Amino acid sequence: MLDVHAPHHASTWRDFFIHITTICVGLLIAVGLEQTVEAVHHHHQRERLLLSLDHDTRATLQDADFAAAERLRRMQWTQVRIEQVRAALSSRKPLATAAPQKSAFITVPADPAWEAARASGMIPLFSQGEIAAYSEVADVIGRARPRLDAEHNAHSKRRDFEKRYESVSEDAKANYRLESPADLQTYLDLLLAEQSAIEDSRFITAVIRGAEAAILEGARDHARIEEREVETVISLPK
């Protein structure tokens, strides 16, 4: 806080105006220095935030690539199992033994640096293009979470159903003692629901990957980011 002392008694108007001018110049210098320090501080804050955002972007891209490969593997396993269940239903023969399942943990997409900046009121430090770009990613991640939860729930329901019939043979391969058509149909419905949920998760994760890739490439235009999202979805392996 600046202390401004009252002027001493001036003997002439000239002395009075010199004194007032000195005070004004001092105040302007002090305010200018304060604003300069604040501007430098904001610049450092912005640089740190951009580094954190870049780190989050690269991490999300890596997680998205891993998730894409893992979900493709899960879909392939599920599709084979669906065909086995359908064959058992149509032929009235015992259900074939399932292939071993290898489950890997999939990280839920997040944008902690952007959320921290928003919570602490630092969004004005960014340009309009940066705000639009990172807001797009945050919006897509927000829309992704319910789909990822649905995938997890579908997987859990299918596994809970399997465990009711599961036995482990000597070679440690899982076999499911499903015999009645009603049970097989229930199993089929659960597999189809999980397959649909995985596909939804693959789609939304590809959208996130496209947005993050566009940002990493320097895109700040909303139209370009959306174009990159579409390109990424189209490139998903079938």
- 216 domain residue, yes or no: yes
pLDDT of residue 171: 45
Q: For residue 2, what pLDDT band results from cuts at 50, 70 and 90?
A: very low
203 has pLDDT over 70: yes
- Identify the pLDDT of residue 170: 43
Instruction: With respect to residue 89, please indicate whether it lies within any of the assigned structural domains.
Output: yes
Instruction: Give me the helices (H) in the chain, please.
Output: 13-91, 112-119, 128-163, 181-216, 222-234
Higher pLDDT, 124 or 11: 124
Is 221 a domain residue?
A: yes
Give percent of the chain above pLDDT 70: 79
Q: In this structure, is residue 120 part of a structural domain?
A: no
Establish if 23 belongs to a structural domain: no
Query: Mean pLDDT lowest for which of 90-94, 164-168, 179-183?
Result: 164-168
Give the span between the Cα atoms of 44 and 87, in whole angstroms.
64
Average pLDDT score, the chain: 84
Mean per-residue pLDDT, 131-138: 91
Place 172 in a pLDDT band, splitting at 50, 70 and 90. very low
What mean pLDDT is predicted for residues 107-121? 88
Which residue did the predictor score with more confidence, 129 or 14?
129
If you average pLDDT over residues 102-116, what whole number do you get? 87
CA distance 2 to 238: 68
pLDDT of residue 143: 92
pLDDT digits (tens, 9 = 90+) for 53-102: 999 999 999 999 999 999 999 999 999 999 999 999 999 888 888 888 88
Distance CA 98, CA 136 (A): 41
Alpha-carbon distance 111 to 128, whole Å? 18
Q: CA nearest 179: which of 80, 97, 95?
A: 95
Q: Which domain holds residue 79?
A: 69-94+127-234
Whether 22 is covered by a domain: the verdict is no
- The pLDDT of 125-139, averaged and rounded, is 90
pLDDT, greater one: 166 or 127? 127
pLDDT, residue 169, reads: 44
Is residue 76 one of the residues assigned to a domain? yes
What total number of domains does the chain contain? 1
pLDDT at 205 exceeding the cut of 80: yes
Q: Which pLDDT does position 11 carry in this prediction?
A: 62
Whether residue 34 has pLDDT greater than 80? no
Lookup result for tokens 């493709």 = 72
Sorting pLDDT into bands at 50, 70 and 90, what band is 122? confident
Residue 144 forms part of a structural domain = yes
Which two three-digit tokens encode residue 39?
A: 């501007």
